[in-house]
């Protein structure tokens, strides 16, 4: 396999994890009662509320850090783990891009592979920590259905993509060592 494929996959994983970490859609809660409906979108950084009833509607978002709230430990832990995962994904992608551009040996992409695998595991672990902890869900449950949402899903997909990129980086071979194709015959001479 070619390290350029891994570069594309790790870039994709890095973008997905960054977006998933940033958006306020990790949990979604909604309730409707007596003509009044409310929706809550909960992320790692902010909370957004939409309400409608009696001919009026309200909506707004506020950041947790702006309000000086005591956040549940799971939010702080998930933030930290996901930020480390994004950092590792970015550094792995940057390292591989530089080494591929400089046409260095594929041995140098092994470092990116290891970083991507660690980042993928961390991205998934951060999501699992968030999902199994009920502190945040209990804050939102007030007769509402609470569901994991898009930001959570993006970080899971990013973790899987990062694991795939890591494996591809590790098994990558220089173009002249790849089998098949017309060029492989000429590279032996």
What is the full per-residue pLDDT of the chain (189 aa) written as tens digits? 688 899 999 999 999 999 999 999 998 888 877 778 888 888 999 989 898 888 888 899 888 877 677 788 899 999 999 999 999 999 999 999 988 888 766 567 889 999 999 999 999 999 999 999 887 777 666 656 788 899 999 999 999 999 999 999 999 876 664 455 554 444 443
Does residue 58 form part of some domain? no
pLDDT of residue 130: 92
Does residue 161 form part of some domain? yes
**99 three-state secondary structure:** helix
Residue 150, domain CATH: 1.20.140
Do 167 and 2 touch, CB atoms closer than 8 A?
no
> Domain range for residue 146?
3-25+70-178
Does residue 139 form part of some domain? yes
Domains: count for the chain: 1
Does residue 43 form part of some domain? no
Does residue 39 form part of some domain? no
Q: How many angstroms from the chain centroid is the CA of residue 68?
A: 26
Cut 0.75: pTM above it:
yes
């Amino acid at each position: 396999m070619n390290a350029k494929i891994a570069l594309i996959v790790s870039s994709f994983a890095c973008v997905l994890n960054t977006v998933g970490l940033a958006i306020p859609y990790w949990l979604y809660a909604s309730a409707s009662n007596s003509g009044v409906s409310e929706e809550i979108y909960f992320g790692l950084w902010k909370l957004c509320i939409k309400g409608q009833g009696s001919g009026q509607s309200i909506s707004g978002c506020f950041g947790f850090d702006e309000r000086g709230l005591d956040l549940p430990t799971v939010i702080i832990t998930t933030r930290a783990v996901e930020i480390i995962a994004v950092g590792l994904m970015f550094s792995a992608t940057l390292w591989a891009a530089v080494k591929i551009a400089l046409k260095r040996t594929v041995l140098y992409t092994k470092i990116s592979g290891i970083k991507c695998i660690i980042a993928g595991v961390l991205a998934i672990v951060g999501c699992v920590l968030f999902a199994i902890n009920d502190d945040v869900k209990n804050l939102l449950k007030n007769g509402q259905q609470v569901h994991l949402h898009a930001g959570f899903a993006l970080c899971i997909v990013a973790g899987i993509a990062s694991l795939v990129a890591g494996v591809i980086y590790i098994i990558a071979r220089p173009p002249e060592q790849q089998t098949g194709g017309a060029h492989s015959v000429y590279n032996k001479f």
